[in-house]
Amino acid sequence: MQAQTEERRKLVLDTLKLAEKYEHVCHVLNFDLETICPPAAMEEQGDLIAYFEAEGFRLTKAPAFQEAAEYLYAHRDELDEADRVMADQLHRTYLHTRNITPEKMKEFSEVRNRAYVRWIEAKQASDFERFAPSLEDIVRIQREEVALRDQEDPAAPVPSVYDRLLDDYERGMTTEQLDACFEACKRRLIPLLDKIRKSTVRIRTDFLSRPVTDDAQARMARRMLEVLHFDFSRGNFTTTEHPFTDWLGRNDTRLTTHYHPDAFLSSIYSIIHESGHAFFEMLQPEEDRDHYITGGKTMGMHESVSRFYENLIGRSEAFIHLLYPMVCEIFPEAMEGVSERELYEAVNLVQPSLIRTEADEFTYTFHIIIRYEIEKLLMSGEIRTEDVPALWKAKYREYLGIEPVDDREGCLQDVHWSFGMGYFPTYALGNMYNAMYYKRIKAEMDLDGAVAAGDFASVNAWMADNVFRRGNRLTPAEWIREITGRDFTPDDYLDYLEEKYTDLYKL
């Protein structure tokens, strides 16, 4: 490496190290905001987050840093892979933010933090009108952010606003590709859902609503994390309104869940889902942390892992064999008279429902399609924010034959719109990615045997070597091809659902 390149490389790394400290502070404050911050202090806390975000961003706006980062990008052939990925990521960020000042960044952050507070208030009151002005602000600032960007390829056609937002969460994905994926889902899943509804198989569910205390659910959540080999020396968990995972620092990954007294399975599968996100962060290569490229993985990659643990493992017969004695021990009253087979069938019940996070594995994709279609219409201006509740109800009737009675169980149920559009499709893409690498892991190890025996050390090691290791360095298309040897397709996911639920419902 030439001396000039090394000098600039050192300046970039030193600046990123300092910027990471501001980011760390923001993560700590945000975790507090979403867990134990008193309601009256939330807006003030949000303003504090916005201040530190802007100050960290200011470091990367310094002319010396931007010159050094762009120099590295222009001299990528002198760099090793980790430095090259860092230069690529910084260049992409540069194009996205070159025309955004720290003051404008602070404004955007304040809008999002206020939107989160308004969402909490609106959801608790089940009143969309309280959130609608904030949603309008979110749509406005996202359009503004996109308008201020420089294109990576100035000669290419200008994508739609929504395509560019989608690309933020899932690099390279387009609405054209997603439309085709979701049409395939509708074509194959809607007729199968009709057959399931007509099946004579009756699955027992009465025990699922038996009351379970928060204390018992907290003990179960800890037991689950211990079984999954979560490292409590580098992470912990608590509760919040809408479960999430945050990676505050190199050795600080935190999960959250929510306890429902009449739905004990909810917290179990919430903690399994969030543990997948945690493992992706905790088990990534140290070299990636040292080069500040850990943000390279996409949300589709991330959701593939969380939903791999939650569904492909967590709803398997092998996992239920492992789980059954634990729930009988910790929830004895709820599980009285319930067999292992009845528990397996109950966690795989297909029943159209209103709440996405509680949706069964089969109908889940329809929840994502509904949000995706509404997001596209909002960002294109074809509908107004005040149209959302009615359109939400109409789409639930169309796809699932049910309709929310209020905004809380309707369009206010998810936190995501308080920080922007474009995220929701990654949940469905995650299901499609993990169905592809599920085939490979089953071919290379006795996955069911390992899961039934509680050998998650082996499962996590396979995931680290094959799924996590290159996630920060590849586009999703490159990543899934490297893992599976095949191009992305929704077919494996649809095949998996057809095979599993045809058997379960004896179709």
How far does Cα 210 stand from its chain's mean position? 29
Q: Write the Ramachandran bin of 149: left for phi over 0, alpha for psi from -120 to 50, otherwise beta.
A: beta
Question: What is the edge-to-edge ordering of all strands in the sheet holding 245-249?
Answer: 235-239, 252-257, 245-249
Our answer to whether residue 287 is catalytic in this structure is no
Residues 6+ apart with CB under 8 A from 357: 242, 243, 266, 270, 413, 414
Residues in the chain: 507
373 phi/psi in degrees, rounded to 5? -65, -35
CB 14 within 8 A of CB 60: no
- H helical segments located in 401-484: 425-444, 447-452, 456-463, 476-484
Neighbours of 110 (CB within 10 A): 20
> What's 505's DSSP letter?
T
CA atoms within a 13 Å half-sphere pointing along the CA-CB vector of 103: 0
Token digits of residue 13: 């790394």
Distance CA 433, CA 474 (A): 14
Instruction: Map tokens 């490159």 to a residue.
Output: 478
CB 354 within 8 A of CB 409: yes
Q: First and final CA of the chain: distance in angstroms?
A: 64
How far is the CA of 46 from the CAs of 61, 132, 234, in angstroms? Answer: 22, 19, 26
Residues 274, 303, 310, 342: which is the catalytic one? 274
301 phi/psi in degrees, rounded to 5? -60, -50
CB 245 within 8 A of CB 277: yes
Q: Where are the beta strands (DSSP E) in 309-377?
A: none
Token digits of residue 247: 């990676």
CB 255 within 8 A of CB 237: yes
CB 372 within 8 A of CB 364: no
Distance CA 139, CA 52 (A): 23
Element (H, E) at 236: strand 235-239
Catalytic residues: 274
